[in-house]
Amino acid sequence: MKQIFSITFVLFGFFSIFLRTPAPVFAQDGLDTNNEIVSEVLRIQNKYTPDLMNIPGVVGTGTGLDLETHQVVIEVYVEQQNPGLEQQIPKTLEGISVKVVAMGKIYIQ
């Protein structure tokens, strides 16, 4: 039987987008964890991941880039979009926007 597991993702991209800061947030192979903003968002994500993972329906968390606002955000991955579930997830954590992303179930293979 396949098991559901939780995993913390770091969203990768292969394009250059800059925040309103001179340091780019992307390295060649993904988010630049040496960037002060990215490393701070990762710290906040890691701090709150255990609490977020205790919410039924949450399957993971990640740090990514909101392509509309060009801001680094915390992503909360859920099995499926659900207004009741989304009400349990904070809109921000320590001033960082939280984006809910439907992923489906995640299985170990």
Map tokens 């709150």 to a residue.
Answer: 48
Per DSSP, 99 falls in state: E
Percent of the chain with pLDDT strictly greater than 90? 53
**What is the Cα–Cα distance from 55 to 32, expressed in whole angstroms?**
29
Residues 101 and 85 sit within 8 Å (Cβ to Cβ): no
Rounded to an integer, what distance in angstroms lies between the CA atom of residue 20 and that of residue 78?
30
Q: 24-52, pLDDT tens digit by residue?
A: 566 555 678 888 999 999 999 999 999 99
DSSP string of 31-75? E-TTSHHHHHHHHHHHHHHHHHHTSTTEEEEEEEEETTTTEEEEE
CATH number of 7-102: 3.30.300
More confident residue, 93 or 82: 93
Q: Structural domain boundaries of the chain?
A: 7-102
Q: Are 28 and 42 in contact (CB under 8 A)?
A: no
